[in-house]
Structure 1
Amino acid sequence: MLLKDARIAVLYGGRCAEREVSLESGGLILNALKQKGYDAFGIDLYGARHDRNPIDQLRAEPFDIAFIGLHGGEGEDGHIQALLDLMSKPYTGSRQLACALAMDKLMTKKLWKGLGIPTPDYIADASDVSVECVERQLSYPVIVKPSREGSTIGISKADNTEQLMQALRDAREYDSEILVEEFIEGPEFTVSIINDEAYPAIGLKPSEDHQLYDYEAKYLADDTEYRLPSGLSDDDESRLKALSLDAYLAVGCKGWGRVDVMRRNNGDFSVLEVNTSPGMTSHSLVPMAAAHVGISYQDLVEKILCSAWDSVGSI
């Protein structure tokens, strides 16, 4: 079967904190595929009331390949990928194990540390993070975030004991495992990767109203500054792209993704996390990087789809 003859299910929505972002991404992906002439339809997993059974939803209408437009939660932590594997359905993005590992920020950092990939220092015992533990091992300021959430949901910066106590409470609303890491005072960059190729880095500068590149700065604010070109020298950008690709491949990612990186004052880079199902909204960074090298949104969606189809061959 040729890809043009395939029926494509676009999976979006879900029941996690990133549902609204996923609905926007999925709608744009679906529209792009239809404009390209593909036979595509959407599946809002769990539905608006979260009362749908995703297994029944995936079995209700036949399809040949899935384009995963889910962000965070069960859509990005390997659950849906495992289900599609059991159904013998090809899908976009990384396999189940890489998704599960990438979603768990703590486990990802442990892997990178073991391989010598630079990442900010952190508290390793996520099951029992306390103020005393943090203050014993790290210096203020620190970053507190849920270990298994995406889109910087639940993330806080703490400059003192009182702020740390509140940050820990906020993070625990999203996850029982908490990641506390050193705060790096320096610029943030993100590198999109498609088919094992690192695309131009984007420099991120939130407005003064946002100390961090958080959920609001990513998806809601119109005053976040995106630097493309990144402002780095050619040598530094090449070094950043190589590091990002190493971090991505170390987790076992494939197809496409995005790596977020901080730069220290001494010029060294430190990897924050890898995203296996990045946003595809009007504010999203992967389409921005692709457009910078002449790839339209529609062509980007097709490129990601073709990568997933080619990886399994014709069926």
Structure 2
Amino acid sequence: MLRAHTTIAVLYGGANSEHEVSVRSARDAVAALRGLGFVVRPVGIDRAGVWHAAEVDALGAVAAPGQPRGVRPELWRGVDLVFPLLHGRYGEDGTVQGAIELAGLPYVGSGVLASALAMDKAMTWRVASAAGVPMVETRVVDAVRTLPDAVRGLPLPLFVKPNRAGSSVGASLVSELDALAPAVRTALAHDTLALVQPAVRADEVSIGVYRTPGGATRTTGPSRVTVAGDGAFFDYDSKYSGRGPAIEVPGRVDPALIPRLQQLAVEAFQAIGADGLARVDFFVQQDGTVLLNEVNTMPGLTARSHFPRLCAEAGLSYPDLLGTLVERAVELGPR
């Protein structure tokens, strides 16, 4: 494996609501990649969308008055590979992947189409359903005035979230009809489309999927988050403040269900054409029914994040995980 002479540009930050999550991921990843012997150049994207050559903890001090948004070609000079450690829109959605492809550089993770499909949950629903993966029923809303038709036949409680957002940003659990319109407005503040789904009473179970340098697809065991009986859900604050439900790794899941969860995770991964890595989230109901929730093509990557913990439980340490992802990207080459 190339290390001493491999220069990796780690992209982090981003002009979206998951900026801080990306910064946390990059802080650990940069240290681990340097520990493996790679030359690492952190490239931060500030909240205004301006790109900077900046160490992770220096990005907040960078002033960018009048600087243009978007890629600065000089930042690619001497770079062998890009690790787009970005979450959410303008990072995980295919936009940055396209920019890297135009630069002719290899990069970690899924390509343009798979990244865009996974970020667009309505499209994930269509593609995964067509491939035979069972999904939660989903209605798409583009304005509050369309709600009566959109939710007809759906029983309360309902789950409302933006179509293209992660980390439960802009998501709401609605138990009364009067709260539905405000929840949709909240979701539409983050995207042009909102999704309305039945609030499935189930355990949230995730499977990690990654590709090896040889192209084999590997899965981890399950994690589990139990939805509280009072109707709470695992929202942004719960995920990143340390409060709220804990993620069980390994998750207490019926052993007989694990092979099916792993099979469906691979089928969803392949259906959207993903590569590199993904965390595939499911709902598992009490009767054993499994429903796909979503596919995250660049999940949080701090050393203690959900996906690395799944991999560690499967025997792949955090440094080895990052090394595997880099090797896979080198193997794929420019796309």
Q: What's the TM-score once normalised by structure 1's chain length? A: 0.92
The CA deviation at 1:62 is 2.6
| Counterpart selection for 2:182 from 166, 176, 179 | 166
- Partner of 1:137, secondary structure, is coil
> For residue 127 of structure 1, what is the aligned residue in structure 2?
142
C-alpha distance 210-288 of structure 1, shift in aligned 2 (>3 A): farther
Q: Over residues 62-99 of structure 1, what are the superposed CA-to-partner deviations in whole Å (9 max), with x where a residue is unaligned? A: 31101111000110110110011111100000000110
- The two structures, once aligned, show a CA RMSD in angstroms of 2.1
> For residue 78 of structure 1, what is the aligned residue in structure 2?
94
> For residue 236 of structure 1, what is the aligned residue in structure 2?
257
Distance 1:2 1:282 in 2: 23
8 Å Cα contact 1:71/1:279 also seen in 2:
yes
- Partner of 2:221, secondary structure, is coil
> For residue 254 of structure 1, what is the aligned residue in structure 2?
275
Q: How does 1:182-197 map to 2 (within 5 A)?
A: 182-195=198-211, 196-197=217-218
Distance 1:128 1:296 in 2: 45
| Counterpart selection for 1:115 from 114, 128, 131 | 131
Residue 18 (structure 1) aligned with residue 33 (structure 2): no
Distance 1:214 1:63 in 2: 37
Q: How does 1:1-315 map to 2 (within 5 A)?
A: 2-45=2-45, 46=50, 48=60, 51=67, 53-56=69-72, 59=75, 61-123=77-139, 125-128=140-143, 130-195=146-211, 196-205=217-226, 211-281=232-302, 283-312=304-333
Deviates more, 1:16-25 or 1:154-163: 154-163
The CA deviation at 1:61 is 4.0
C-alpha distance 209-221 of structure 1, shift in aligned 2 (>3 A): farther
Residue type of the alignment partner of 2:26:
G
- Partner of 1:107, secondary structure, is helix
8 Å Cα contact 1:219/1:284 also seen in 2:
no
The CA deviation at 1:269 is 0.5
- Partner of 1:29, secondary structure, is helix
The CA deviation at 1:37 is 1.1
- Partner of 2:71, secondary structure, is helix
The CA deviation at 1:230 is 1.7
Distance 1:24 1:31 in 2: 11
Deviates more, 1:216-225 or 1:164-173: 216-225
> For residue 56 of structure 2, what is the aligned residue in structure 1?
none
Distance 2:4 2:278 in 1: 24
When you count helix as a share of all residues, which structure comes out higher? 1
The CA deviation at 1:281 is 2.4
Gaps of 5+ in 2: 52-59, 212-216
- Partner of 1:198, secondary structure, is strand
Count of residue correspondences: 312
Distance 2:74 2:190 in 1: 27
C-alpha distance 120-206 of structure 1, shift in aligned 2 (>3 A): closer
The CA deviation at 1:235 is 2.1
Gaps of 5+ in 1: none
Distance 1:253 1:272 in 2: 16
Q: What's the TM-score once normalised by structure 2's chain length? A: 0.87
